[in-house]
Structure 1
Amino acid sequence: MTIHSSHPFLPPPEDRDPVRRLRGRLPAPVSVWTSSNGPIRGGWTISSMLVADGDPGELVALVNEDADWWDLFRKTRLACVNVLASRQSRVSEVFARVAPSPGGPFRTGEWVDSAYGPRLADAAAWVGVRLVDADPEHSGWGLLVRARIESVDLAEGRIALQHLGGHYS
Protein backbone atom coordinates (compact mmCIF):
# COMPACT_ATOMS: atom_id res chain seq x y z
CA MET A 1 0.00 0.00 0.00
CA THR A 2 1.29 3.45 -0.91
CA ILE A 3 0.44 6.66 0.91
CA HIS A 4 -0.10 9.58 -1.48
CA SER A 5 0.11 13.23 -0.59
CA SER A 6 -2.53 13.94 -3.26
CA HIS A 7 -5.38 12.04 -4.90
CA PRO A 8 -3.74 9.06 -6.68
CA PHE A 9 -6.27 8.99 -9.53
CA LEU A 10 -6.52 12.72 -10.20
CA PRO A 11 -5.76 13.47 -13.86
CA PRO A 12 -3.08 16.04 -14.67
CA PRO A 13 -4.35 19.67 -14.76
CA GLU A 14 -4.38 19.82 -18.56
CA ASP A 15 -6.79 16.83 -18.69
CA ARG A 16 -9.30 18.10 -16.11
CA ASP A 17 -12.74 19.33 -17.16
CA PRO A 18 -12.78 23.14 -16.82
CA VAL A 19 -16.55 23.26 -16.22
CA ARG A 20 -16.24 20.79 -13.36
CA ARG A 21 -13.31 22.77 -11.95
CA LEU A 22 -15.39 25.99 -12.14
CA ARG A 23 -18.24 24.30 -10.26
CA GLY A 24 -15.75 23.24 -7.57
CA ARG A 25 -14.72 26.86 -7.01
CA LEU A 26 -18.25 28.06 -6.28
CA PRO A 27 -19.76 27.45 -2.84
CA ALA A 28 -22.76 25.14 -3.02
CA PRO A 29 -25.57 24.61 -0.54
CA VAL A 30 -26.01 21.09 0.78
CA SER A 31 -29.54 19.73 0.97
CA VAL A 32 -31.32 16.40 1.09
CA TRP A 33 -34.60 16.27 -0.79
CA THR A 34 -36.96 13.64 0.61
CA SER A 35 -40.36 12.26 -0.37
CA SER A 36 -42.61 9.55 0.97
CA ASN A 37 -45.63 7.56 -0.10
CA GLY A 38 -47.05 5.63 2.83
CA PRO A 39 -44.22 3.50 4.23
CA ILE A 40 -41.99 4.14 1.20
CA ARG A 41 -39.33 6.81 1.79
CA GLY A 42 -36.69 8.16 -0.52
CA GLY A 43 -34.15 10.95 -0.56
CA TRP A 44 -31.19 12.36 -2.45
CA THR A 45 -28.43 14.87 -1.75
CA ILE A 46 -28.68 17.94 -4.00
CA SER A 47 -26.19 20.79 -4.04
CA SER A 48 -26.91 22.22 -7.48
CA MET A 49 -29.90 24.37 -6.56
CA LEU A 50 -30.98 27.95 -6.20
CA VAL A 51 -33.85 29.89 -4.70
CA ALA A 52 -35.95 31.88 -7.17
CA ASP A 53 -37.77 34.62 -5.26
CA GLY A 54 -41.28 35.38 -6.48
CA ASP A 55 -44.93 34.77 -5.79
CA PRO A 56 -44.78 31.85 -5.46
CA GLY A 57 -41.08 31.33 -4.88
CA GLU A 58 -39.41 28.31 -6.40
CA LEU A 59 -36.42 26.07 -5.88
CA VAL A 60 -34.64 25.14 -9.09
CA ALA A 61 -32.35 22.12 -8.93
CA LEU A 62 -30.28 19.84 -11.12
CA VAL A 63 -31.41 16.30 -10.35
CA ASN A 64 -29.77 13.03 -11.34
CA GLU A 65 -32.50 11.23 -13.28
CA ASP A 66 -31.05 7.89 -12.17
CA ALA A 67 -31.53 8.74 -8.49
CA ASP A 68 -33.87 6.20 -6.90
CA TRP A 69 -35.67 9.11 -5.16
CA TRP A 70 -36.59 10.87 -8.44
CA ASP A 71 -39.37 8.41 -9.37
CA LEU A 72 -40.92 8.80 -5.92
CA PHE A 73 -40.85 12.62 -6.19
CA ARG A 74 -42.39 12.45 -9.67
CA LYS A 75 -45.18 10.24 -8.32
CA THR A 76 -46.00 12.21 -5.16
CA ARG A 77 -44.99 15.63 -6.56
CA LEU A 78 -44.06 16.61 -2.97
CA ALA A 79 -40.69 16.90 -1.27
CA CYS A 80 -39.20 18.19 1.96
CA VAL A 81 -35.96 20.01 1.19
CA ASN A 82 -33.75 19.60 4.24
CA VAL A 83 -31.05 22.30 4.23
CA LEU A 84 -28.30 20.59 6.18
CA ALA A 85 -26.66 22.23 9.16
CA SER A 86 -22.91 22.62 9.57
CA ARG A 87 -22.35 19.29 11.35
CA GLN A 88 -24.48 17.12 9.06
CA SER A 89 -21.97 16.27 6.31
CA ARG A 90 -22.34 12.55 7.06
CA VAL A 91 -26.04 12.76 6.18
CA SER A 92 -25.08 14.38 2.86
CA GLU A 93 -22.65 11.59 2.03
CA VAL A 94 -25.13 8.86 2.95
CA PHE A 95 -27.89 10.32 0.76
CA ALA A 96 -25.40 10.87 -2.09
CA ARG A 97 -24.70 7.14 -1.81
CA VAL A 98 -20.98 7.65 -1.17
CA ALA A 99 -21.04 6.53 2.50
CA PRO A 100 -22.68 3.46 4.03
CA SER A 101 -25.68 3.52 6.33
CA PRO A 102 -26.53 0.03 7.59
CA GLY A 103 -30.29 -0.38 7.48
CA GLY A 104 -30.75 2.35 4.84
CA PRO A 105 -30.14 6.08 4.58
CA PHE A 106 -32.90 7.09 7.00
CA ARG A 107 -30.98 5.33 9.79
CA THR A 108 -28.46 8.19 9.65
CA GLY A 109 -29.87 11.19 11.52
CA GLU A 110 -33.17 11.62 13.29
CA TRP A 111 -36.13 11.81 10.90
CA VAL A 112 -39.79 12.72 11.46
CA ASP A 113 -42.60 12.52 8.94
CA SER A 114 -44.07 15.70 7.46
CA ALA A 115 -46.74 16.39 4.85
CA TYR A 116 -43.98 16.87 2.25
CA GLY A 117 -41.65 14.01 3.17
CA PRO A 118 -39.24 12.99 5.92
CA ARG A 119 -37.83 15.93 7.86
CA LEU A 120 -34.33 15.82 9.40
CA ALA A 121 -34.16 17.00 13.00
CA ASP A 122 -31.61 19.76 13.58
CA ALA A 123 -31.39 20.82 9.92
CA ALA A 124 -30.77 24.52 9.23
CA ALA A 125 -34.06 24.86 7.33
CA TRP A 126 -36.92 22.83 5.88
CA VAL A 127 -38.77 23.74 2.71
CA GLY A 128 -41.97 22.05 1.57
CA VAL A 129 -42.13 22.01 -2.23
CA ARG A 130 -44.45 20.82 -5.00
CA LEU A 131 -43.03 19.64 -8.33
CA VAL A 132 -43.93 21.95 -11.24
CA ASP A 133 -43.26 19.58 -14.16
CA ALA A 134 -42.82 15.80 -13.86
CA ASP A 135 -41.02 15.68 -17.24
CA PRO A 136 -38.40 18.45 -17.04
CA GLU A 137 -35.76 19.17 -19.65
CA HIS A 138 -32.11 18.26 -19.27
CA SER A 139 -29.51 20.83 -18.35
CA GLY A 140 -26.02 19.43 -18.63
CA TRP A 141 -26.01 15.94 -17.10
CA GLY A 142 -29.04 16.56 -14.88
CA LEU A 143 -32.73 17.33 -15.08
CA LEU A 144 -33.66 20.99 -14.61
CA VAL A 145 -36.30 20.58 -11.90
CA ARG A 146 -38.57 23.39 -10.73
CA ALA A 147 -40.47 23.07 -7.45
CA ARG A 148 -42.89 25.64 -6.01
CA ILE A 149 -42.21 26.60 -2.41
CA GLU A 150 -45.28 26.01 -0.23
CA SER A 151 -43.71 26.27 3.23
CA VAL A 152 -40.46 27.45 4.80
CA ASP A 153 -39.28 26.74 8.32
CA LEU A 154 -35.94 28.26 9.36
CA ALA A 155 -34.03 27.00 12.40
CA GLU A 156 -32.60 30.04 14.14
CA GLY A 157 -28.98 29.80 15.15
CA ARG A 158 -28.07 26.91 12.86
CA ILE A 159 -25.49 27.57 10.17
CA ALA A 160 -26.12 25.90 6.82
CA LEU A 161 -23.58 23.40 5.52
CA GLN A 162 -21.80 24.31 2.30
CA HIS A 163 -19.51 22.48 -0.08
CA LEU A 164 -16.52 24.13 -1.74
CA GLY A 165 -13.57 22.60 -3.53
CA GLY A 166 -14.40 19.08 -2.40
CA HIS A 167 -14.73 20.01 1.28
CA TYR A 168 -17.58 20.80 3.66
CA SER A 169 -17.66 23.89 5.83
Structure 2
Amino acid sequence: MTIHTEHPFDTPEDDRDQLRRLRGRVGGAVSLWTAGEGIERAGLTVSSFLVATGDPGRVVGLLHPDSDLLDRLQETGTAVVALLGARDERLADAFAGTMPAPGGPFRLAEWEQTEWGPRAVGAQTWAGVRLDPATVHEVGWSVLVEVVVEHVVVGADDTPLVHRRGRYQRPS
Protein backbone atom coordinates (compact mmCIF):
# COMPACT_ATOMS: atom_id res chain seq x y z
CA MET A 1 0.00 0.00 0.00
CA THR A 2 1.33 3.41 -1.00
CA ILE A 3 0.57 6.59 0.93
CA HIS A 4 0.14 9.61 -1.35
CA THR A 5 0.61 13.18 -0.25
CA GLU A 6 -2.04 14.25 -2.80
CA HIS A 7 -5.14 12.57 -4.18
CA PRO A 8 -3.90 10.01 -6.75
CA PHE A 9 -6.65 10.90 -9.25
CA ASP A 10 -6.37 14.70 -9.06
CA THR A 11 -5.70 16.54 -12.28
CA PRO A 12 -2.03 17.59 -12.32
CA GLU A 13 -1.52 21.19 -11.17
CA ASP A 14 -0.41 22.44 -14.62
CA ASP A 15 -3.52 20.95 -16.31
CA ARG A 16 -6.12 22.49 -13.98
CA ASP A 17 -8.54 25.13 -15.25
CA GLN A 18 -7.11 28.37 -13.90
CA LEU A 19 -10.44 30.22 -13.93
CA ARG A 20 -12.06 27.48 -11.81
CA ARG A 21 -9.12 27.70 -9.42
CA LEU A 22 -9.64 31.47 -9.14
CA ARG A 23 -13.37 31.00 -8.47
CA GLY A 24 -12.59 28.41 -5.80
CA ARG A 25 -10.37 30.84 -3.96
CA VAL A 26 -13.03 33.55 -3.85
CA GLY A 27 -15.21 31.50 -1.52
CA GLY A 28 -18.38 32.72 0.06
CA ALA A 29 -21.23 32.27 2.48
CA VAL A 30 -23.50 29.33 1.72
CA SER A 31 -27.17 30.03 1.10
CA LEU A 32 -30.12 27.73 0.55
CA TRP A 33 -32.59 28.77 -2.15
CA THR A 34 -36.00 27.08 -1.92
CA ALA A 35 -39.20 27.42 -3.93
CA GLY A 36 -42.53 25.71 -4.37
CA GLU A 37 -44.95 24.05 -2.00
CA GLY A 38 -45.75 20.54 -0.77
CA ILE A 39 -44.38 17.79 -3.00
CA GLU A 40 -43.52 20.46 -5.59
CA ARG A 41 -40.79 21.96 -3.37
CA ALA A 42 -37.24 22.27 -4.64
CA GLY A 43 -34.05 23.64 -3.18
CA LEU A 44 -30.42 24.26 -4.05
CA THR A 45 -27.32 25.18 -2.08
CA VAL A 46 -25.83 28.34 -3.62
CA SER A 47 -22.56 30.07 -2.70
CA SER A 48 -22.21 32.09 -5.91
CA PHE A 49 -24.51 34.99 -5.09
CA LEU A 50 -24.42 38.61 -4.04
CA VAL A 51 -26.80 41.01 -2.37
CA ALA A 52 -27.30 44.47 -3.85
CA THR A 53 -28.88 47.05 -1.58
CA GLY A 54 -31.24 49.65 -2.97
CA ASP A 55 -34.91 50.26 -3.43
CA PRO A 56 -35.73 47.57 -4.17
CA GLY A 57 -32.86 45.40 -3.02
CA ARG A 58 -31.84 42.51 -5.22
CA VAL A 59 -30.03 39.21 -4.98
CA VAL A 60 -28.09 37.91 -7.97
CA GLY A 61 -27.28 34.22 -8.06
CA LEU A 62 -25.71 31.62 -10.31
CA LEU A 63 -27.89 28.50 -10.43
CA HIS A 64 -27.32 25.10 -11.99
CA PRO A 65 -29.17 25.05 -15.34
CA ASP A 66 -30.60 21.55 -14.76
CA SER A 67 -31.66 22.12 -11.16
CA ASP A 68 -35.21 21.53 -10.00
CA LEU A 69 -34.87 24.79 -8.08
CA LEU A 70 -34.40 26.82 -11.28
CA ASP A 71 -37.47 25.16 -12.80
CA ARG A 72 -39.57 25.81 -9.69
CA LEU A 73 -38.35 29.41 -9.39
CA GLN A 74 -39.34 30.09 -12.98
CA GLU A 75 -42.74 28.39 -12.47
CA THR A 76 -43.68 30.11 -9.19
CA GLY A 77 -41.73 33.35 -9.60
CA THR A 78 -40.82 33.35 -5.90
CA ALA A 79 -38.26 31.79 -3.56
CA VAL A 80 -36.69 31.95 -0.14
CA VAL A 81 -32.97 32.74 0.09
CA ALA A 82 -31.68 31.69 3.52
CA LEU A 83 -28.18 31.98 4.92
CA LEU A 84 -26.87 28.74 6.40
CA GLY A 85 -24.83 28.49 9.58
CA ALA A 86 -21.87 26.28 10.44
CA ARG A 87 -24.33 23.77 11.97
CA ASP A 88 -25.99 23.28 8.54
CA GLU A 89 -23.25 21.37 6.65
CA ARG A 90 -25.38 18.24 6.30
CA LEU A 91 -28.37 20.23 5.00
CA ALA A 92 -26.13 22.10 2.55
CA ASP A 93 -24.59 18.87 1.25
CA ALA A 94 -28.00 17.24 0.79
CA PHE A 95 -29.35 20.18 -1.23
CA ALA A 96 -26.10 20.31 -3.22
CA GLY A 97 -26.64 16.66 -4.13
CA THR A 98 -23.34 15.55 -2.60
CA MET A 99 -24.82 13.62 0.32
CA PRO A 100 -27.58 11.02 0.25
CA ALA A 101 -30.86 12.11 1.79
CA PRO A 102 -33.29 9.18 2.01
CA GLY A 103 -36.76 10.56 1.35
CA GLY A 104 -35.27 13.80 0.00
CA PRO A 105 -33.40 16.72 1.56
CA PHE A 106 -36.57 18.35 2.90
CA ARG A 107 -36.74 15.55 5.49
CA LEU A 108 -33.55 16.83 7.16
CA ALA A 109 -35.11 19.93 8.74
CA GLU A 110 -38.36 21.41 9.94
CA TRP A 111 -39.99 23.74 7.39
CA GLU A 112 -42.38 26.66 7.44
CA GLN A 113 -44.27 27.54 4.26
CA THR A 114 -44.02 31.27 3.52
CA GLU A 115 -45.66 33.18 0.67
CA TRP A 116 -42.30 32.94 -1.18
CA GLY A 117 -41.64 29.25 -0.56
CA PRO A 118 -40.44 26.89 2.16
CA ARG A 119 -38.07 28.20 4.84
CA ALA A 120 -36.00 25.98 7.11
CA VAL A 121 -37.15 26.93 10.60
CA GLY A 122 -33.53 26.94 11.79
CA ALA A 123 -32.52 29.54 9.19
CA GLN A 124 -32.74 32.77 11.14
CA THR A 125 -31.62 35.13 8.37
CA TRP A 126 -33.58 34.91 5.14
CA ALA A 127 -35.26 36.84 2.37
CA GLY A 128 -38.47 36.32 0.44
CA VAL A 129 -37.73 37.14 -3.19
CA ARG A 130 -39.51 37.49 -6.53
CA LEU A 131 -37.84 36.57 -9.83
CA ASP A 132 -37.23 39.28 -12.41
CA PRO A 133 -37.76 37.07 -15.50
CA ALA A 134 -36.01 39.56 -17.80
CA THR A 135 -32.71 38.91 -16.01
CA VAL A 136 -32.50 35.12 -16.48
CA HIS A 137 -29.71 34.12 -18.87
CA GLU A 138 -26.89 31.64 -19.26
CA VAL A 139 -23.48 32.65 -17.96
CA GLY A 140 -20.76 30.07 -18.49
CA TRP A 141 -21.98 26.77 -17.04
CA SER A 142 -24.64 28.46 -14.92
CA VAL A 143 -27.84 30.46 -15.21
CA LEU A 144 -27.71 33.94 -13.76
CA VAL A 145 -30.91 35.03 -12.05
CA GLU A 146 -31.79 38.32 -10.43
CA VAL A 147 -34.48 38.38 -7.78
CA VAL A 148 -36.15 41.35 -6.12
CA VAL A 149 -36.15 41.29 -2.32
CA GLU A 150 -39.68 41.68 -0.94
CA HIS A 151 -39.14 40.61 2.67
CA VAL A 152 -36.08 40.31 4.91
CA VAL A 153 -35.57 38.79 8.35
CA VAL A 154 -32.14 39.25 9.95
CA GLY A 155 -31.68 36.92 12.88
CA ALA A 156 -28.82 36.22 15.25
CA ASP A 157 -25.35 36.59 13.76
CA ASP A 158 -24.45 32.90 13.82
CA THR A 159 -21.14 31.47 12.67
CA PRO A 160 -21.68 31.33 8.89
CA LEU A 161 -21.20 28.30 6.71
CA VAL A 162 -18.45 29.29 4.28
CA HIS A 163 -17.40 27.31 1.20
CA ARG A 164 -13.94 27.79 -0.29
CA ARG A 165 -11.77 25.57 -2.49
CA GLY A 166 -14.26 22.72 -2.47
CA ARG A 167 -14.70 22.46 1.30
CA TYR A 168 -16.40 24.14 4.22
CA GLN A 169 -14.37 26.49 6.37
CA ARG A 170 -15.26 28.03 9.67
CA PRO A 171 -14.14 31.62 10.08
CA SER A 172 -11.86 32.10 13.07
TM-score, normalized by length of structure 2? 0.91
Structure 1 pair 42–159 and aligned structure 2 pair: CA distance change class (3 A):
same
Q: Aligned partners of 1:89 and 1:4: how far apart in 2?
A: 27
Which is helix-richer, 1 or 2? 2
Q: Aligned partners of 1:111 and 1:2: how far apart in 2?
A: 47
Q: Aligned partners of 1:111 and 1:12: how far apart in 2?
A: 43
Matched, 1:125 2:125: yes
Q: CA deviation at 1:7?
A: 2.3
The one-letter code of the counterpart of 2:48 is S
Aligned length: 169
The one-letter code of the counterpart of 2:50 is L
C-alpha offsets along residues 44-74 of structure 1, whole Å, 9 cap, x if unaligned? 1111100111110100011111001211110
Q: CA deviation at 1:110?
A: 2.1
**Do 1:123 and 1:158's aligned partners in 2 also have CA atoms closer than 8 Å?**
no
Q: CA deviation at 1:3?
A: 5.8
The within-5 A match list for 1:1-169 is: 4-133=4-133, 136-168=136-168, 169=170
Q: CA deviation at 1:6?
A: 2.6
Q: CA deviation at 1:159?
A: 2.3
Structure 1 pair 153–18 and aligned structure 2 pair: CA distance change class (3 A):
same
Q: CA deviation at 1:119?
A: 0.7
Structure 1 pair 6–124 and aligned structure 2 pair: CA distance change class (3 A):
farther
Q: CA deviation at 1:124?
A: 4.5
Quote the RMSD (CA, aligned, Å): 1.7
The one-letter code of the counterpart of 1:14 is D
Identity of aligned residues (%): 45
Q: CA deviation at 1:38?
A: 4.8
Q: CA deviation at 1:9?
A: 1.9
Q: Secondary structure at the match of 1:20?
A: helix
Q: Aligned partners of 1:39 and 1:13: how far apart in 2?
A: 44
Q: Secondary structure at the match of 1:143?
A: strand
**Do 2:27 and 2:47's aligned partners in 1 also have CA atoms closer than 8 Å?**
no
Q: Aligned partners of 1:113 and 1:37: how far apart in 2?
A: 7
**Do 2:81 and 2:127's aligned partners in 1 also have CA atoms closer than 8 Å?**
yes
Q: Aligned partners of 2:86 and 2:124: how far apart in 1?
A: 8
TM-score, normalized by length of structure 1? 0.92
Structure 1 unpaired stretches of 5+: none
